[in-house]
């Protein structure tokens, strides 16, 4: 019996950090390998074709990059800027991936639909 789950077989995270004087920065890379689409998962075959004509297949691999920058203004005061999904990479879309009224046309456990997110933080220790 052929069985294939909808999880990526390869996932990876790597980060590189620097510290110069009162500044620290980190760059993060997040990789998700290819995953079967909904029809391949439920039909248990990449040859499966739904009655609507939609075909089973794979989502391509997906890499996003995040960055953080911190500045130690004083011994008890840190200013931070964080950017998630620096290049605003969005998940690949397949309109006919899901037959009927299913939720999302991609595995939202691996792919974020939020795009780039920017946040700032002021931390004061007392």
Each residue's pLDDT expressed in tens, for the chain with a length of 126 residues: 344 466 778 889 999 999 999 999 999 999 988 877 766 666 666 676 766 666 677 777 889 999 999 999 999 999 999 999 999 987 766 544 455 545 555 666 667 778 899 999 999 999
- What are the residue boundaries of the structural domains of the chain, listed by start? 11-124
Tell me the C-alpha distance between 36 and 54, whole Å. 14
What's the CA gap between 10 and 30, in Å, rounded?
11
Measure the CA–CA gap between 15 and 20, rounded to whole angstroms: 17
Distance CA(111)–CA(122), nearest Å, equals 29
The answer to whether 78 touches 60, Cβ cutoff 8 Å, is no
pTM, rounded to two decimals: 0.74
Beta bridge partners of 12: 31
Q: What is the pLDDT of residue 58?
A: 75
């Amino acid at each position: 019996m052929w069985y294939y789950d909808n999880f990526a077989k390869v996932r990876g995270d790597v980060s590189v950090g620097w510290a110069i004087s009162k500044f620290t920065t980190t760059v993060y890379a997040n990789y998700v390998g290819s995953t079967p689409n909904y029809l391949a998962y439920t039909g248990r075959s990449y040859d499966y074709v739904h009655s609507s004509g939609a075909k089973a297949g794979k989502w391509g691999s997906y890499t996003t990059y995040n960055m953080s920058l911190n500045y130690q203004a004083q011994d008890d005061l840190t200013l931070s800027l964080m950017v998630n999904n620096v290049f605003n990479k969005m998940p690949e879309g397949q309109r006919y991936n899901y037959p009927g009224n299913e939720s999302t046309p991609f595995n939202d456990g691996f792919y974020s639909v939020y795009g780039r997110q920017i946040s700032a933080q002021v931390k004061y220790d007392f």
